[in-house]
Amino acid sequence: MGLQGEIVPYRKKQEEEEEEEGTDYVDEVGDRDLGMIPTLPLQRKLVVVGYALTSKKIKSFLQPKLQGLARNKGILFVAIDQSRPLSDQGPFDIVLHKLTGKEWRQILEDYRLTHPEVTVLDPPDAIQHLHNRQSMLQCVADMNLSTSYGTVEIPSQLVVKKDAWYIPDAVEKAGLRLPLVAKPLVADGSAKSHELSLAYDQLSLQKLEPPLVLQEFINHGGVMFKVYVVGETIKVVRRFSLPDVCKRELSSIAGVFRFPRVSCAAASADDADLDPGVAELPPRLLLEKLAKELRRRLGLRLFNLDIIREHGTRDRFYVIDINYFPGYGKMPEYEHIFTDFLLSLAERQYKKKSCQ
C-alpha cells in the first residue's frame, strides 16, 4: 500500500503546458488597473486572481513554486488592497479569500451582487456555516452516508450555550458516554477557537466554559485522515492524532485536560510504521461520494475534513472537523491541483460568457 493516499478523479494533466518555459498568452488585460502586473507577450487570456489572505496564509499558500507554475499557466495572483474599494481593483476573474470580520463579509457580498461574472472563492455565507461547530457537522449528519464501503457519521454531541453547572445533568440526559471532547462552539480561526479539552469524568464537566460542543471521544488508534478538497479533486493524508483512551484509564483519571492543536501541529503519519488496520486509508469511493455531497450541501469548493476510523472496525468513519481554505501548502502536489482548478473555473466562466 502506498503510504500517501491520493484520489484524483477527474483533472486532465496539462504537463506540456506547465513545463513549457515561455507559453504565449493573449493579453486581454487591456486597460485593466492592475498596478504592478507585468505586460506579458500573450496569446491566451490571463486569469487574474485577486487574493485577500492573512500574511500567515500568504506565506504558506502563495509559495514561489505555486506562483511560478501559475505564471506559466497564465494565472496571475494580485493582492487585494483592503483600504480601497474592491470594484476599483482588478478587474479580477477570481477572488480568493480567507479573512474574518463582518465588514469584510459585507464587502464580498456586495461585490458578488455587483460582479456576478467574478467567481468568489467561496461565498461568505457558505463559509460562515463552518464557523459554528454545530452547523459545521450538521450536513454530514443529514447525509447519513451508508454504502457498501462503509458508513460516515458524526460523533454523538451536545451543544451547551451557557450554565456550566448544568453540564453534568445535560450530559447524563443526552446519554453521552465519557470521555468527552469539549470544543468551543465558535470556530472562527482564533487561537481560542482551537482550545480543546478532554473531560474524563462527569463532575469535572462543570469546569468547562460554554458556549461549547461536547462530543463523544471516539477511539481511532491515534491516526486521523485529512481529506483536502479543491473543487472536484480530493487528496487524503494521514496525521497523528490523540491516542485511544482505554477503560482502565477512564476509571482511574478524573478531570479536564487541555490539549494542543493536534491535527495541524502533528507530524504527517504517512511514513510511519503503523498498524495496517489503523493506517489503511478510507475507501476512495466513499471519500469521493462524501466530498461530492459535501461540496453540494455546503456550497464550498475549498475545504478539508478531519475524518477518523473507529478503532477495531474497518469501515465505520466519523467526520470530526471541517475547515474552510485549510493549509493547502501541506497537501502534496497542491500547486498543480490548485492551478488546474483555477484554470477550470476560468474556462467555465469563458464558456458561460460565450453562450450568452
Residues binding Mg ion (CB under 5 A): 263, 306, 321, 323
- Site residues (CB under 6 A) for ligand ADP, limited to 217-236: 217-218, 220, 224
- Is 304 a binding residue for ligand ADP by CB under 6 A? The answer is no
- Minimal CA–CA distance to 327: which of 284, 269, 256, 268? 268
What sign has the CA pseudo-torsion 210, 216, 217, 218?
Answer: negative
- Is 89 a binding residue for ligand ADP by CB under 6 A? The answer is no
- Minimal CA–CA distance to 343: which of 121, 40, 70? 70
Question: Given the rule CB under 6 A, which of 42-50, 150-158, 240-248, 256-264 is the region that contacts ligand 5MY?
Answer: 256-264
The CB-of-193 to Mg ion minimum distance in angstroms stands at 8
Residue from the set 76, 158, 196, 319 that interacts with ligand ADP by CB under 6 A: 196
Residue from the set 23, 157, 304, 339 that interacts with ligand 5MY by CB under 6 A: 304
3-state secondary structure 181-245: EEEECECCCCCHHHCEEEECCCHHHHHCCCCEEEEECCCCCCEEEEEEEECCEEEEEEEECCCCC
Contacts with ligand 5MY, 205-244, as mask; x by CB under 6 A = ---------------------x------------------
The residue behind cell 465505520 is: 316
Number of residues near ligand 5MY (by CB under 6 A): 17
Angle at 125 between CA 119 and CA 127, to 5 degrees: 80
- Is 189 a binding residue for ligand 5MY by CB under 6 A? The answer is yes
- Is 263 a binding residue for ligand ADP by CB under 6 A? The answer is yes
- Minimal CA–CA distance to 304: which of 319, 286, 285, 289? 319
Cβ closest to ligand 5MY, residue 122 vs residue 321: 321
Q: What are phi and psi of 9, to 5 degrees?
A: -75, -30
Tell me how far apart the alpha carbons of residues 115 and 91 are, in angstroms, rounded to a whole number.
10
Cβ closest to ligand 5MY, residue 34 vs residue 187: 187
Instruction: Tell whether residue 222 is among the known ligand binding residues.
Output: yes
At 85, list the grid cell: 474599494
At 145, list the grid cell: 452516508
- Is 321 a binding residue for ligand 5MY by CB under 6 A? The answer is yes
- Site residues (CB under 6 A) for ligand ADP, limited to 146-165: 155
**DSSP β-ladder status, 256-259 and 196-199:** antiparallel
- Minimal CA–CA distance to 176: which of 152, 163, 160? 160
The CB-of-212 to ligand ADP minimum distance in angstroms stands at 12
The CB-of-325 to ligand ADP minimum distance in angstroms stands at 13
Tell me how far apart the alpha carbons of residues 278 and 220 are, in angstroms, rounded to a whole number.
7
Distance of CA 322 to the CA centre of its chain: 6
What sign has the CA pseudo-torsion 26, 113, 135, 285?
Answer: negative
- Is 184 a binding residue for ligand 5MY by CB under 6 A? The answer is no
Instruction: Tell whether residue 218 is among the known ligand binding residues.
Output: yes
Residue ranges of the binding site for Mg(2+): 306, 321, 323
Q: Summarize as ranges the residues that interact with ligand ADP (CB under 6 A).
A: 155, 181, 183, 187, 194, 196, 215, 217-218, 220, 224, 241-242, 261-263, 306, 308, 320-321
Residue ranges of the binding site for 1D-myo-inositol 1,3,4-trisphosphate: 98, 226, 323, 327
Q: Summarize as ranges the residues that interact with ligand 5MY (CB under 6 A).
A: 56-57, 60, 98, 189, 226, 261, 263-264, 304, 306, 321, 323, 326-327, 329-330
Residue ranges of the binding site: 57, 98, 133, 183, 194, 215-226, 241, 306, 321, 323, 327
